[in-house]
Amino acid sequence: MQLGKLGVWWATDAMSAADAAAFAKRLEEWGYAALWIPEAIGREPLAHAAWLLANTDRLIIATGIANIYARDARAAFTGQRTLAEQSGNRFLLGLGVSHAPLVEGMRGHDYKSPLATMRGYLEAMANAGDYGAVPPGETPPTVIAALGPKMLALAASHARGAHPYLVTPEHTRQARDILGADRWLCVEQKVLRETDPEKARAIARQGIGFYLALPNYRNNLLRLGFTVEEIDGQADRLVDGLVAWGDEAAIRARIDAHVAAGADHVCIQPLDPEGTPLPDEGLLAALAPNG
């Protein structure tokens, strides 16, 4: 798998299946390396990945992330290999521990130590045994959602790399130092083509507000030097650090900052200036690698 510099992160739940497939085809034509899809309260991501892979030829489909509480390690192992073989090695499995409110409140599981649980899951996948079907042409890669230093170290020792979400270029620099030179660092970055500061920050706050109440993200932001008051108040400094807004040049500069800090791959999440749950495809076309 050759993971290019630029991808797209987007939850396609507001699109019909046909529209999501057409969206993936456009991304492929524009030259994006990958489409990352999440797992929350919408579509089952491995099933949806199969649909998107079947409707594209070159685009990598990645889960950002598949929740390890949603399926056991053996199911992840077989699902990953099924999709890799069916697609000619275009499936990238991103795994994460999610968050206690989503795991306990929505799924009814006990949320245990994130680090130990993820380590155990990855080791169970590695020891899953035989795969009783035609195998993929190469061992399919796994990345894990990692923010703190211990989870990043686990990404280096037990996976192909890390997929940090809701981070700054400073976090990317720290993550690269922990991962070392040979692990993938696939960073999510929210982008917004809006040059008016008041409008841009209002839309950006809508895009990040949900995440700021979740402990894993709060703890990471505190490690990055943001204060509790900045997080709770969604201060301008916080908003500007997490969402790259402005014209195309400003957005490209943020992408380049992540790459300079050590990112192998930046998956941009193009917030709609009108505030809809659909991506800003005009911005994606403007930033397209084949543009």
Distances (CA, A) of 280 to 23, 29, 79, 193, 267: 11, 16, 31, 8, 14
Beta strand pairing call for 265-270 and 243-246: unpaired
Distances (CA, A) of 15 to 46, 152, 275: 17, 33, 15
Instruction: Give, for 193, the enclosing helix (H) or strand (E).
Output: strand 184-193
| pLDDT, averaged in runs of 10, over the chain (291 residues) | 96 98 98 97 97 98 98 98 98 93 84 96 97 97 98 98 98 98 98 98 97 96 98 98 98 98 98 96 98 77
Q: What is the pLDDT of residue 70?
A: 96
Q: What is the pLDDT of residue 291?
A: 77
Token duo for residue 242: 């997490």
CB atoms within 10 A of CB 108: 8
pTM over the 0.95 mark: yes
Choose which CATH entry (2.40.50.100, 3.20.20.30, 3.30.420.40, 3.90.650.10) describes domain 6-287: 3.20.20.30
Q: With contact defined as beta carbons under 8 Å apart, do 203 and 273 qualify?
A: yes
Q: What is the pLDDT of residue 98?
A: 87
Q: What is the pLDDT of residue 101?
A: 82
Q: What SS3 state is found at 88?
A: coil
Q: With contact defined as beta carbons under 8 Å apart, do 32 and 289 qualify?
A: yes
My answer on whether omega of the bond before 65 falls inside 30° of 0, hence cis, is: yes
Q: What is the pLDDT of residue 158?
A: 98
Q: With contact defined as beta carbons under 8 Å apart, do 34 and 7 qualify?
A: yes
Q: What is the C-alpha to C-alpha distance for residues 163 and 106, in angstroms, rounded to an integer? A: 23
Q: What is the pLDDT of residue 109?
A: 84
Q: Which residue from 206, 165, 217, 212 is spatially nearest to 189, judged by alpha carbons? A: 165
Non-local (6+) Cβ contacts of 227 within 8 A are none
Non-local (6+) Cβ contacts of 108 within 8 A are none
Instruction: Give, for 21, the enclosing helix (H) or strand (E).
Output: helix 17-30
In single-letter form, the type of residue at position 242 comes to L
Q: With contact defined as beta carbons under 8 Å apart, do 190 and 208 qualify?
A: yes
CB atoms within 10 A of CB 228: 10
